[in-house]
Amino acid sequence: MGDQPEGGAEPGRKVNVFFQKNASSSLTLSVDSTNFAELDVEKENLKRLCKTTSFPHNGLFKGHPVIVSANWLEIITKMGVTKILSLEPNNQQRKKQIDLIKTTNLQLVSAIHPTALILPYAQIDDGVWINSGCIVGYKAEIRSGVFLNTGVNIDHHNVLQECCQVDPGVVTAGNVVLGECCHIHTGAVLINRIQIGANSIVGAGAVVLKDIQENCTAVGVPAKIIKENNIFNMNYTQPNPTQPNPTQRQCHDITSLYDGKVFSKIICFVGKDIFYSASVITVLLAKQKNVVAIVGETADLVWTEISAGLKNNIIPVIRKRRFWEDSEFNTLYFSNALGVNCGYDYIIPELVLSSLPIINIHPAALPLNRGCHHSFWGIIDKTPFGATLHWMTKELDQGPIISQITFCDDGFISAGEIQEKSNQLCIELLAEHIDSILDGESISKSQSLGTYHSKKEIIAASTLCSNKTVSVDYLFDLCRAVNNKKNGFIIEKDGRKFLIKIEKMVELL
Q: Which domains are assigned to the chain?
A: 17-42+59-108 (no CATH), 111-227 (2.160.10.10), 255-453 (3.40.50.170)
Helix (H) or strand (E) holding 402: strand 401-407
- CA 229, CA 235: separation in Å to the nearest integer? 16
pTM exceeding the 0.75 threshold for the entire prediction: no
CB of 111 closer than 8 Å to CB of 15? yes
Q: In sequence order, what E strands does 60-185 have?
A: 60-61, 64-68, 83-84, 107-108, 111-112, 117-118, 123-124, 129-130, 135-136, 141-142, 147-148, 153-154, 159-160, 165-166, 171-172, 177-178, 183-184
> Is pLDDT above 80 for 327?
no
Q: Which spans in 287-414 are helix H?
A: 299-307, 327-330, 350-353, 374-380
What string of DSSP letters covers 426-485? HHHHHHHHHHHHHTT----B---S--EE-TTHHHHHTEEETTS---HHHHHHHHHHHTTT
Task: Report pLDDT for 389.
Answer: 94
333, 267 Cβ separation under 8 angstroms: no
- Predicted confidence band of residue 373 (pLDDT cuts 50, 70, 90): confident
Instruction: From the candidates 57, 113, 156, 453, give the one annotated as an active-site residue.
Output: 156
Average pLDDT for 32-38:
38
pLDDT value, residue 67: 60
- Residues present in the chain in total: 509
Told to judge if 113 belongs to the known catalytic residues of this protein, a careful annotator would answer no
- The residue ranking higher by pLDDT, 502 or 211, is 211
The pLDDT of residue 286: 86
pLDDT, tens only, 330-354 = 767 677 889 999 989 888 888 888 8
Q: What is the mean pLDDT of the chain?
A: 79
Q: How far apart are CA 488 and CA 471, in angstroms?
A: 18
pLDDT at 307: 79
Residue type, 208: V
The pLDDT of 278-292, averaged and rounded, is 89
pLDDT value, residue 196 = 96
* Count of H-run helices and E-run strands, the chain: 12, 39
> DSSP code of 212?
B
pLDDT of 28 reads: 35
Residues 168-193 have pLDDT tens digits of 999 999 999 999 999 999 989 999 99
Distance between CA atoms of 483 and 488, rounded to whole angstroms?
A: 7
Residue 279 burial (CB < 10 Å; 0-12/13-18/19+)? Answer: buried
* Mean pLDDT to the nearest integer, 55-84: 63
Q: Is pLDDT larger for residue 8 or for residue 47?
A: 47
Residue 55 DSSP symbol: P
Instruction: Please state, for a pLDDT cut of 70, what percent of the chain lies above it.
Output: 79
Per-residue pLDDT at 72 exceeds 90: no
**pLDDT number for residue 351:** 83
| Contact assessment for residue 111 and residue 85, using Cβ atoms and an 8 Å cutoff | yes
Contact of 292 with 267, CB cutoff 8 Å? yes
Using an 8 Å Cβ cutoff, are 153 and 286 in contact? no
Rg (alpha carbons) of the chain, rounded to whole number: 28
Q: What is the mean pLDDT of residues 295-307?
A: 89
Identify which of 180, 177, 136, 170 has the alpha carbon closest to the alpha carbon of residue 155.
136
Helix or strand (DSSP H, E) at 458: helix 457-461
Say whether pLDDT at 88 is over 80. no
The residue-averaged pLDDT of 129-158 equals: 93
